[in-house]
Structure 1
Amino acid sequence: MDTTSSSPSKVEIFKGSGVMVDKLAWAYAVNANSCTTFVRQLLTAVFPPEVLLVSNLRGTNKGKGEARLPLEKTKVDAIYNATLERWPGTPLSLVGSSINGKITEMRNKVKQQK
């Protein structure tokens, strides 16, 4: 995990990915006590809420409701790689379900506020 960057307030989440997050968001993620929390913290640091609310991991249209856009592959790959570096042996399916779970939770919160 590279903490050097061109901007002193940003950190590259996985060396060579070019995906940057605020140092504070990175600190929250790194101090997570589980892989799932790590992924969820990084997800919300990498993607703005307005993108997450209309997306899911791979993008789908299940015939009911709106089609979901896929998340940007470069950023998703960086999250996967950072997770596997920090939490070796993590099943890829756990990372994906953590991403979609966080997005679903965000969508449900917005629905409840309406």
Structure 2
Amino acid sequence: MVIAHSLGCLAVLRYLSSLRTDWNLGGLVLVSGFTRKLPALPELDGFITSGLDVSTVRQRVQKIPVLRSDNDGLVPSAFSDELATLLGVKAHVQSGAGHFLAEDGVTELPRLLDWIQ
């Protein structure tokens, strides 16, 4: 099980997509994930590129929950929804969680327990 947040989602997806050996993963939880350049954080543009092929990931990961907030000021909801669609899943929405940071009032995510057990 791998859990990633924000830019970490892109980093994990890139890594998994690059693996050329046979591999399988029980679960991959992506929180506030995206694959597009973020209007709110243009300083990340150099790291964020288009053309990520997630087909291998989709085939080799048993469970892929994508979690987003309805008021994320950094990652637009549509970006997380698009990532979920690329992975063949539907995004789960946690209302009012912002970018899932302590400063947004999020210090625990009990919802993840259902996905990691």
Structure in which a larger fraction of residues adopt helix: 1
The two structures have a TM-score, normalised by structure 1, of 0.29
Give the number of the structure whose alpha-carbon radius of gyration is greater: 1
